[in-house]
C-alpha cells in the first residue's frame, strides 16, 4: 500500500568548507504500509536523501547532532516526534554513508504510529452495543416487547444528525470505518483488516440476537404442540367415554 508522507528536514550541508543549513520539505512515497492491524497499526518508511549534482567533496549531507547542537533539534537535545493529525511520526534510525560513486547519502527510517480517537470511540461504541444485545438473552420471555426492542435497537438505531435521519449502531459504524479506510484494490495486498472483521462479526452477532427470540418462541411453540398431541387420547376412546357419560 503506497502512501504519501510529508516530512520536514533540516540538514546541515558543507559546501566548499562553508557550512550552511537548508530547510527542505520532501514528499515521500512509501510502499511498505500494511493496514491489517488498523487502528492499532504502526507503519515504517525508509527515506534516502542525496545530492546528485555534487559529490562528497563539494556537498556533505549529515543529520544534526542533538548533543552538540540542541537548537537544530528544537532546543530539547533530541529529535521530537512530529504530530500530524492522527499520526505520530518518530525517527527510528538515521545515518549518513558514502556510496561507491562518492556521493554523501543521508538515510532515515521513520515510524508512523496511529492514535485515532474516532476509531477508538467507534470500537468502544460497538462493544457497548454488543453487551446490550447480549443482555437481551437474560430478559424473561414474558417481556417480549422489551426483548425484541433491545435486540432491534442494538442492531439498528436512528438518530438525527445534521438534520438528516442517519443510521447508527454497529451497521453505521461499519460503513463509517470502511469509508475511512484507504483503497484496498491492489491485488497484491492480500491481508485482512482487523477492524473491518471485528465490525462485521459484531454486526452479525447483534443480528442473531435480534432473531433469537423469534426462533426460540417458534421452537417452544412446536414443542408445546407436540406435547399436546402426545397426551391427547385416541379418537375411539374419546367417543366411548362420551357414550358412558350419556348412559
Q: Residue 1's pLDDT band (boundaries 50, 70, 90)?
A: very low
Residue 95 forms beta bridges with which residues?
107
pLDDT, one tens digit per residue, over 146-156 is 666 666 666 55
Domain boundary (115, 140, 162) is at 115
Range of the domain at 70: 3-115
Number of domains in the chain: 2
**Which pTM does this prediction carry?**
0.54
Same domain, 101 and 144: no
Does the pLDDT of residue 222 top 80, yes or no? Answer: yes
Question: Per-residue pLDDT for 183 more than 80?
Answer: no
Do residues 72 and 135 both lie within one domain? no
Cα 96 to Cα 48: distance, rounded to the nearest angstrom: 9
For residue 193, count CB atoms less than 10 angstroms from its CB and return exposed for 0-12, middle for 13-18, buried for 19 or more.
buried
Tell me the CATH number at 184: 1.20.58.390
% the chain with pLDDT above 70: 44
126 and 46 co-located in one domain: no
* Residues 62 and 131 grouped into a single domain: no
Predicted pLDDT of residue 41: 77
In a domain, 198, yes or no: yes
Confirm if 64 and 72 have CB atoms less than 8 A apart: yes
Q: 143 with 127, same domain?
A: yes
Co-location of 167 and 191 in the same domain = yes
Looking at the fold, whether 14 and 72 belong to one and the same domain comes out as yes
Cα(155)–Cα(151) distance, integer angstroms: 6
Are 148 and 193 contained in the same domain? yes
Amino acid at each position: 500500500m503506497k502512501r504519501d508522507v510529508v516530512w520536514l528536514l533540516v540538514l546541515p550541508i558543507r559546501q566548499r568548507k562553508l557550512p550552511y543549513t537548508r530547510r527542505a520539505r520532501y514528499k515521500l512515497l512509501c510502499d511498505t504500509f500494511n493496514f491489517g492491524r488498523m487502528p492499532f497499526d504502526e507503519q515504517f518508511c525508509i527515506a534516502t536523501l542525496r545530492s546528485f549534482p555534487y559529490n562528497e567533496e563539494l556537498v556533505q549531507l549529515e543529520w544534526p547532532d542533538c548533543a552538540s547542537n540542541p537548537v537544530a533539534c528544537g532546543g530539547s537535545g533530541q529529535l521530537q516526534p512530529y504530530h500530524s493529525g492522527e499520526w505520530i511520526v518518530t525517527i527510528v534510525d538515521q545515518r549518513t554513508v558514502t556510496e561507491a560513486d562518492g556521493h554523501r547519502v543521508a538515510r532515515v527510517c521513520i515510524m508512523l504510529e496511529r492514535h485515532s480517537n474516532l476509531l477508538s470511540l467507534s470500537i468502544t461504541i460497538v462493544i457497548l452495543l454488543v453487551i446490550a444485545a447480549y443482555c437481551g438473552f437474560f430478559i424473561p420471555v414474558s417481556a417480549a416487547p422489551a426483548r425484541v426492542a433491545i435486540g432491534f435497537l442494538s442492531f439498528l438505531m436512528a438518530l438525527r444528525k445534521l438534520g438528516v435521519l442517519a443510521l447508527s449502531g454497529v451497521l453505521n459504524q461499519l460503513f463509517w470505518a470502511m469509508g475511512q479506510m484507504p483503497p484496498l484494490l491492489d491485488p497484491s495486498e492480500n491481508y485482512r483488516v482487523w477492524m473491518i472483521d471485528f465490525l462485521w462479526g459484531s454486526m452479525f452477532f447483534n443480528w442473531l440476537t435480534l432473531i433469537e427470540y423469534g426462533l426460540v418462541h417458534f421452537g417452544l411453540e412446536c414443542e408445546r404442540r407436540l406435547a399436546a398431541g402426545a397426551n391427547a387420547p385416541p379418537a375411539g376412546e374419546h367417543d366411548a367415554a362420551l357414550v358412558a357419560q350419556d348412559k
